[in-house]
Amino acid sequence: MQFHHTYGDICTIYLGSRPVILVNGYKAVKEAMVDRGDDFLARGDLSILDAYFKNHGVAYTSDMHRWRELRRFSLTALRDFGMGKKSTEEKIQVEAACVVTELNKMQDIYFDPRECLTRAPCNIIFSIMFGNRVEYNNEELLNLINYMYEAFRIISSPWGQLYDMFPRIMWHLPGRHHMLFEYLSKLQLFVEKRVKLNKETLDPNNPRDYIDAFLIRMEKEKMDLQSEFTLWNLLCTTIQIFFAGTESLGSTLTYSLMLMMKYPDVCSE
């Protein structure tokens, strides 16, 4: 807000050597995001994640052709496996009942609800991406959620912010930012294991989940050297959908619970 009052609706600051444009005010934001939305479709570089994903996957790429191809495929595949359909609504109701059961176990004690609330959307994503749900006390599920949250803590920490400003320097310096790559590697190992399992039991005429659909598309385009349907894009996209979807939904549910606690009269309605 201080920049806005001093420099107006649009100004530029530098994070290290990277120029960042700040847009303030309804009119300026609407012009950028709505009226000229096509000019601002690309995602800005996030150096600490670019160092791992190498500009691949659907979520963390600035390559617009790659983004369009993977986004189009992913939206179609996710819809085919239930996104926005009655079948997913039923899965959500099952997970909601599981969350209530877990919360009822915590009566009269202090606890962090985020962990429980994160498992529900995680299981929905699991069922679409990997074809099955798991129990809330599943050790592998708990480890994956822990890796994800630890990775987000590092990205938003001073270490992560310094890496984004000075990537070439921070790559060579010791520090906690290198732990991010370990957590992402553990997520990658899990996805690689699931991809291998799907390959061994793949039926091209009966895809069971997102990974199956991607593998089938890979096989169809294996002779196309320019194809975006590669194993690395499969791994990156799967990690990114799980990574971003689980965290954002878990945080939204946690924040919603906090608001309901603050305004109990709304709950009664």
CATH of the domain at 144: 1.10.630.10
Q: 149 and 202, same structural domain?
A: yes
Which band of pLDDT confidence, cut at 50, 70 and 90, is reported for residue 75?
Answer: very high
Q: 62 and 18, same structural domain?
A: no
Contact 210, 129 (CB under 8 A): yes
Q: 59 and 34, same structural domain?
A: no
Q: How many domains are contained in the chain?
A: 2
Instruction: Give the separation between CA 73 and CA 88, rounded to whole angstroms.
Output: 19
- Say how many residues make up the chain: 269
Contact 2, 24 (CB under 8 A): no
Tell me the pLDDT tens digit for each residue of 197-249.
999 999 999 999 999 999 999 999 999 989 999 999 999 999 999 888 888 88
Q: 170 and 67, same structural domain?
A: yes
Q: 25 and 83, same structural domain?
A: no
Q: 223 and 110, same structural domain?
A: yes
Please give the residue that has the higher pLDDT: either 157 or 17.
157
Q: HEC profile for the chain? A: CHHHHHHCCEEEEEECCEEEEEECCHHHHHHHHHHCHHHHCCCCCCHHHHHHHCCCCCCCCCCHHHHHHHHHHHHHHHHHCCCCCHHHHHHHHHHHHHHHHHHHCCCCCCCCHHHHHHHHHHHHHHHHHCCCCCCCCCHHHHHHHHHHHHHHHHHCCHHHHHHHHCHHHHCCCCCCHHHHHHHHHHHHHHHHHHHHHHHHCCCCCCCCCHHHHHHHHHHHCCCCCCCCCCHHHHHHHHHHHHHHHHHHHHHHHHHHHHHHHHCHHHHHC
Query: To the nearest whole percent, how much of the chain has pLDDT over 70?
Result: 97
What is the overall mean pLDDT for the chain? 87
Among the residue ranges 53-57, 59-63, 77-81, the one predicted with the least confidence is: 59-63
Domain range for 108 is 45-268
Q: 19 and 143, same structural domain?
A: no
CA atoms within 13 A on the CB side of 113: 18
Tell me the whole-structure pTM to 2 decimals.
0.83
Q: 33 and 61, same structural domain?
A: no
- pLDDT given for residue 7 in this prediction: 80
Q: 78 and 20, same structural domain?
A: no
Spell out the residues 6+ positions from residue 222 whose beta carbon is closer than 8 angstroms to its own: none
- pLDDT given for residue 99 in this prediction: 86
- pLDDT given for residue 1 in this prediction: 63
Q: 243 and 189, same structural domain?
A: yes
Q: 92 and 201, same structural domain?
A: yes
Q: Is 122 exposed, middle or buried (0-12, 13-18, 19+ CB in 10 A)?
A: buried
* pLDDT value at 46 more than 90: no
Q: 78 and 17, same structural domain?
A: no
Give the mean pLDDT of 132-151: 88
Give the mean pLDDT of 7-19: 83
Instruction: Give the separation between CA 161 and CA 212, rounded to whole angstroms.
Output: 36
End-to-end CA gap in the chain: 37
CA distances from 241 to 75, 80, 89, 108, 131 (A): 11, 16, 19, 36, 15
Q: In angstroms, what is the C-alpha Rg of the chain?
A: 21
Instruction: Give the separation between CA 64 and CA 42, rounded to whole angstroms.
Output: 7
- pLDDT given for residue 43 in this prediction: 66
